[in-house]
Structure 1
Amino acid sequence: MIHLEHINLIVRDIEETLTFYRAAFPHWEIRGGDKGLWSGKPRNWIHFGDDYQYLAFGDNGVGENRDLAGHQVGLAHFAFVTDDIKGTIKRLNDAGFAIAKDGMEDDYRENIYFVDPNGYEVEFVQYNTDIPSLRNRY
């Protein structure tokens, strides 16, 4: 079996970034971090998550993320499954983040998209069934 352990994102500011991800994942914590050099540039980094999954953030990112409406090669979005999408939306809204776009209407799943402080699009999805053929309709 293979599963995703972590995503490594370069960000402008770790604390600003944590505002978004702490709201989305209130049960996660900083697992560790340090300072170092990356290609000759100083960088702070942390791992934010639980015992099984995490997001790695490295700071001192420069420039803007890709245009999410454009066709440039790069990350389009990544998604997390939640069992409480309304609570996730409320926590992110309360932290000052607006919904970027609505998901598709479907009887068996609900989804929503936010954009974090660095321009990464993050999808949250709640499945309303355990039946794979209904969860994965296209």
Structure 2
Amino acid sequence: MPVTLEEAHELIARAHRRAGELGSHVTVAIVDEGGHLQALGRMDGAPPLSAQLATGKAASVALIRRDGAALRDMQQAWPALFGQLDQVAGRPILAGAGSLLIRRADTVLGAIAVSGGQPQHDDECAEAGLRGLE
């Protein structure tokens, strides 16, 4: 079962709080285990394209079941394979900072992705979003 809508909003709120502390303006996307958008929160001042990027990164992580850093490693190790994944998935596969699986015990519930800040800020915001999820 994916995170509830209430939990998704809490994840977004925690990520936005961290972004505010860092002086970043970001968009946070939460998708279910199949990569379908569940909730999206774009802070005032976040770059316009950040909504599409966050959604794409979150869906990629959920579908391939690897955090963004692992997807970047795959992209570097097997560029030809990685280049074809979007054709198989039917959507672009994005490997980027700030994208993490959402898990409860050993079960993948979906993914969170943050876009719009510096890569290290996107990572920190995604991690902050996941803190407190039980």
Q: Name the one with the larger helix percent.
A: 2
Bigger-Rg structure (1/2): 1
Fold conserved between structures, TM > 0.5: no
TM-score in terms of structure 2 length: 0.28
Asked which structure has the greater RCO (Cα within 8 Å, sep 6+), the reply is 2
